[in-house]
């Protein structure tokens, strides 16, 4: 199997280096712009990998090995944007072997120089990582914790953006506030509204040598648990209590993010990170937030987990070449009140993640990348199979073409 992945990687990289594209001007005179990109990738992953995007391990279908190979389309996006006379309209779809799904559908109004309003199917914008557009990310994907907190990475809601004027003393300050359904891209089934917010301050030095930014994020909502038993982790075990339906399932996050970029003879050097902690309503054997009306008594969101985590990225452009390197470190403790001795499931454990990658941009429209993720799981005698380090590393090779 290992031999096959190296052969496949060599063929894919060899093919990709031969690819070139012409620049595409998709802007029309009437304010309409069509853009898009496709990401195709192969993944060689440990059978206990936390997340593989183009497949999953099935012992009945794969050879009985610690690692398996999968490949497919990670994203196939096409986006139409209309901007004119203070109005904005965005519609975006994703297509892959799994089908076609809506990603964005929102309207915007630049009401004042310092105020914009958006409504519809929006990007989740908690922290820095969610706002970093997928085709521009140097790693293969956002951290696992981010995907679990915001499954689908989009919300239905109403958003206001306050931005300090460029000529004011508060230049670089921006506040984003939104009332969202808290249910991903599905219609809300319970009438609940969540608050999502991000306060950001960015500055660039007068000589242009350095750019830096800091941010504060807050999310507050509730989840319909469809059950009358509420579980919290106390005294080294899950404790249940009888409650009224949907009374205590609070969903609350707080995040602190920072970014620092230098421009020098070595090329752009970028360091960015974020620390996140909060409370997550979840199912017993999972951590992922609610989406797509997933509310039922057989798998209720009635387990309240207090969590914490962080990520740190370092990206270095290699001079004026078309190459970049990226280093990544992240950590997530899905249940900070539990430890390896009293954990009930793998989502009561903590995970460290280290990764490194190499990116080649042969043209403006083509990106070739390879990234290796190495996870270290907290060991536990009480969770089957996790009394040792499990095979959960992931090697990803990707080609991206955009227009």
d(CA 375, CA 143): 12
What are the backbone dihedrals phi and psi of residue 211, each rounded to the nearest 5 degrees, phi first? -130, 135
CB-count burial class (<10 Å; 0-12, 13-18, 19+) for 281: buried
pLDDT score recorded for residue 21: 34
Count the neighbouring beta carbons within 10 Å of the beta carbon of residue 242: 7
pLDDT score recorded for residue 77: 96
pLDDT digits (tens, 9 = 90+) for 114-161: 999 999 999 999 999 998 888 999 999 999 999 999 988 898 999 999
Q: pTM for the complete prediction? A: 0.88
- The residue range of the domain holding 369 is 2-402
Number of independent structural domains in the chain: 1
CB-count burial class (<10 Å; 0-12, 13-18, 19+) for 402: middle
What are the backbone dihedrals phi and psi of residue 397, each rounded to the nearest 5 degrees, phi first? -120, 130
d(CA 280, CA 163): 30
Evaluate if residue 250 carries a pLDDT over 60.
Answer: yes
pLDDT score recorded for residue 257: 98
pLDDT digits (tens, 9 = 90+) for 186-218: 777 667 789 999 999 999 988 888 999 999 999
Per residue, the 3-state secondary structure of 7-66, as one string, reads: HHHHHHHHHHCCCCCCCCCCECCCCEEEEEEEEEEEEEEECCCCCCCCCCCCCCCCCCCC
d(CA 88, CA 31): 9
Under 8 Å CB-to-CB from 348, ≥6 apart: which residues? 233, 305, 334, 335, 338, 342, 383
Residue of 90, 103, 279 whose CA lies nearest to 194: 279
The region of weakest confidence among 70-79, 211-220, 262-271 is: 262-271
d(CA 77, CA 363): 19
pLDDT score recorded for residue 279: 96
List residues bridging with 388 in a β-sheet.
none
Count the neighbouring beta carbons within 10 Å of the beta carbon of residue 95: 15
Give the CA distances from residue 36 to residues 40, 71, 95, 289, 332, in Å, rounded to whole numbers and listed in that order: 14, 21, 11, 28, 32
pLDDT cut 70: percent of the chain above it: 91
pLDDT digits (tens, 9 = 90+) for 161-189: 999 998 888 899 999 999 998 877 777 76
pLDDT score recorded for residue 300: 81
pLDDT digits (tens, 9 = 90+) for 16-71: 333 333 334 455 668 899 999 999 999 999 999 999 999 888 877 777 789 999 99
Q: What is the DSSP string of 294-320?
A: ---GGG-S-EEEEEEEEEEEEEEE-TT
DSSP state of 100: E
Contact assessment for residue 307 and residue 332, using Cβ atoms and an 8 Å cutoff: yes
Radius of gyration of the chain (CA): 22
**CATH number of the domain to which 32 belongs:** 2.40.160.10
Residue of 213, 179, 217, 211 whose CA lies nearest to 199: 217
d(CA 164, CA 169): 8
Q: Band the pLDDT of 13: cuts 50, 70, 90.
A: very low
């Amino acid at each position: 199997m290992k031999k096959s992945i190296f052969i496949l990687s060599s063929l894919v990289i060899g093919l990709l280096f031969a690819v070139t594209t012409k620049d595409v001007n998709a802007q029309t005179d009437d304010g309409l712009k069509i853009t898009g990109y496709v990401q195709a990738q192969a993944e060689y992953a440990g059978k206990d990998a936390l997340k593989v995007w183009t497949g999953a391990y099935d012992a009945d279908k794969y050879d009985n090995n610690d690692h398996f190979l999968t490949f497919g389309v990670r994203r196939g996006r096409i986006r139409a944007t209309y901007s004119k006379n203070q109005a904005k309209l965005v519609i975006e779809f994703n297509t892959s072997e799994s089908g076609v799904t809506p990603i964005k559908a929102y309207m915007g109004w630049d009401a004042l120089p310092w105020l914009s309003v958006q409504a519809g199917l929006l990007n989740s914008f908690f922290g820095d990582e969610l706002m970093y557009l997928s085709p521009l990310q140097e790693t293969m994907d956002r951290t696992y914790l981010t995907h679990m907190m915001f499954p689908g990475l989009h919300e239905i809601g109403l958003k206001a953006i306050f931005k300090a004027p460029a000529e004011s003393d508060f230049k670089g300050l921006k506040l984003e506030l939104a009332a969202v359904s808290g249910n991903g891209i599905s219609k809300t089934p319970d009438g609940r509204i969540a608050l999502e917010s991000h306060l950001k301050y960015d500055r660039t030095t007068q000589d242009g040598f350095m750019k830096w930014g800091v941010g504060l994020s807050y999310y507050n909502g509730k989840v319909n648990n469809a059950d009358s038993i509420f579980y919290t982790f106390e005294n080294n075990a899950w404790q249940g209590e009888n409650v009224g339906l949907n009374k205590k399932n609070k969903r609350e996050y707080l995040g602190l993010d920072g970014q620092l970029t230098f421009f020098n003879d070595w090329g752009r050097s970028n360091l960015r990170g974020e620390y996140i902690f909060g409370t997550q309503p979840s199912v017993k054997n999972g951590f992922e937030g609610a989406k797509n009306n997933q509310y039922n008594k057989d798998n209720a969101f009635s387990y309240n987990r207090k969590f914490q985590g962080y990520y740190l990225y370092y990206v270095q452009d290699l001079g004026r070449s078309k190459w970049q390197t990226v280093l990544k470190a992240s950590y997530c403790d899905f249940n900070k009140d539990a430890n390896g001795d009293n954990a009930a499931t793998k989502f009561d454990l903590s995970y460290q993640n280290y990764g490194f990658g190499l990116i080649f941009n042969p043209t403006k429209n083509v990106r070739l990348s390879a990234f290796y993720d190495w996870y270290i799981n907290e060991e536990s005698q009480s969770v089957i199979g996790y009394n040792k380090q499990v095979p959960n590393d992931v090697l990803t090779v990707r080609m991206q073409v955009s227009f």
